[in-house]
Amino acid sequence: MAWLLVVVAGLLETGFAVCLKLSHGFTRLWPTLAFAAFALSSFGLLTMALKKLDVGPAYAVWTGIGAAGTAIYGMVFLGDVVSTLKLVSISLVIIGVIGLQLSGSAH
């Protein structure tokens, strides 16, 4: 259950990163409010998960999901440049996240 919280928190991290861009420096109301909601939810779930998980693997998985998700969202919906190197790098992040989750503690 704790790992599920980390995964959901990582997806919410993607949401707050995208909303941060869309807020244009907190000058747009709705993206700014969405950023705050996603950020608080993400940090809250991560905090709950850290009660049962080691901080290193949990934090790495959380940031990995957020980084990969944000990069993918940017390429698909925001017109960010797509390159082979980006796709390979995102794949490596995902592989690393899976490896960390598999090697995490058995709490």
pLDDT digits (tens, 9 = 90+) for 11-61: 999 999 999 999 999 999 999 999 999 999 999 999 999 999 999 889 999
Number of folded domains in the chain?
1
- Domain that residue 22 falls in: 1-106
pLDDT at 101: 74
pLDDT, the chain, mean:
93
Terminal CA-CA length for the chain: 10
Non-local CB neighbours of 38 within 8 Å, separated by 6+ positions: 12, 13, 15, 16, 19
pLDDT at 97: 82
pTM of the model: 0.88
